[in-house]
Amino acid sequence: MKNLIKIISERAARYNLQVVFTTHRESIIELSDLINIRHIFGTSEKTLCFDETKPDAINRLTGTQPRLIEIFVEDDLAMAITKKVAGQLRISKHVSVQRFGAAINCFTVLSGLRLRGENCDNSIFVLDGDVYRTQEEQKIRIEAVLTGNDERSKLLRESSLAKIKCLNLPENTEPEKYIHSIITGLEETDDNEHNEIIEVAKQIAAVDDSHKFVDDIIRRLDWNRDVGLSKIIDLISSTQEWANYVSSVNDWLISKRELVQETTSQEVSCIASQRMEGRS
């Protein structure tokens, strides 16, 4: 089929013709530099035409969901936070979140990817914000793993540093302690489930490990950990502190929305069959 399309394109250009055809073959996407692809999607009310073949279009064609945006975080708490931010922007299905473990691993993993030749244009590495808070501290760690005095090494270090984001914690405060302090500062709400979280959090006054500020809430409410983290993050995401806390991740994700969200070029009258249009 690819060879046929190339021949049609050459003939159309030679004779100044416009050729329109339909196909359900996802391999047509590989010829986007040669033909003008429009993806037609029908709803119960109307048929929409999308300018570009974004992840949602690929999902409809192939049944797989590409995740073009990649976020690396320290642990499952940060994972729940970043997925919540993505969900609030309606792009969660396009975001893959992976863990690198202890904060110091951030620099090793990032450097390894860059040295392997990956540009990481659509990736960020998110630190909790309790250590390596400043760019100077991050720069020292990057220089320790990305060595070299040549121009390429300098550019690599500079571009890698831009891939590191921090959650905005108060100084000398662990993330779990900060989240606990937000919850205990809340008054009762109209949501009884949220009220129970607030009540339990206020009963936790002192712990021997800062992680227990969150872990003990989950344990006392007898929740599965993933479910518990999700419910706790749902609660704090409704507070005034949330926007400032996640601002660096939120701003970066906003800058990437255009990469994954489909935009309609026009509304097409409902037709008997959906089609893909190729124009040479």
Q: Is the pLDDT of residue 144 over 60?
A: yes
Q: Is the pLDDT of residue 272 over 90?
A: no
Q: Are 266 and 105 in contact (CB under 8 A)?
A: no
What is the reported pLDDT for 269? Answer: 39
- Among candidate residues 186, 208, 214, the one with its CA nearest the CA of residue 198: 186
Task: Please state which of the ranges 3-17, 47-61, 135-149, 152-166 shows the lowest mean pLDDT.
Answer: 47-61
- Among candidate residues 122, 32, 119, the one with its CA nearest the CA of residue 68: 122
SS (H, E, C) 109-147: HHHHHHHCCCCCCCEEEEECCCCCCCHHHHHHHHHHHCC
Q: Are strands 264-268 and 47-50 parallel, antiparallel or unpaired?
A: antiparallel
* Entry field: residues in the chain: 280
The SS3 call for residue 76 is helix
Q: Which phi and psi (to 5°) does residue 63 adopt?
A: 85, 0
Mean pLDDT rounded to a whole number for the chain: 84
Q: Is the pLDDT of residue 277 over 60?
A: no
- Among candidate residues 191, 212, 209, the one with its CA nearest the CA of residue 201: 212
The SS3 call for residue 19 is coil
Q: Are 110 and 120 in contact (CB under 8 A)?
A: yes
Task: Please state which of the ranges 8-17, 86-95, 204-213, 220-229 shows the lowest mean pLDDT.
Answer: 8-17
Q: Using CA atoms, how far apart are residues 163 and 172, in angstroms rounded to an integer?
A: 23
Contact partners, residue 224, CB within 8 Å, separation at least 6: none
Which CATH number, 3.40.50, 1.10.1740, 3.30.1490, 3.30.1450, labels domain 69-168+246-259? 3.40.50
What is the reported pLDDT for 157? Answer: 92
274 — pLDDT class (breaks 50, 70, 90): very low
Q: Are 267 and 48 in contact (CB under 8 A)?
A: yes
Count of H helices and E strands in the chain? 12, 8
What is the reported pLDDT for 267? Answer: 43
Q: Are strands 123-127 and 264-268 parallel, antiparallel or unpaired?
A: unpaired
Q: Using CA atoms, how far apart are residues 236 and 230, in angstroms rounded to an integer?
A: 10
Q: Specify the residue for token string 């720069």.
A: 139
What is the reported pLDDT for 276? Answer: 37
pLDDT digits (tens, 9 = 90+) for 147-192: 888 888 899 999 999 999 999 999 999 999 999 999 999 999 999 9
Helix (H) or strand (E) holding 96: strand 95-99
Identity of residue 204: I
In the chain, domain spans? 2-49+271-279, 69-168+246-259, 175-241
pLDDT digits (tens, 9 = 90+) for 51-99: 555 555 555 555 555 678 999 999 999 999 999 999 999 999 899 999 9
What is the reported pLDDT for 59? Answer: 53
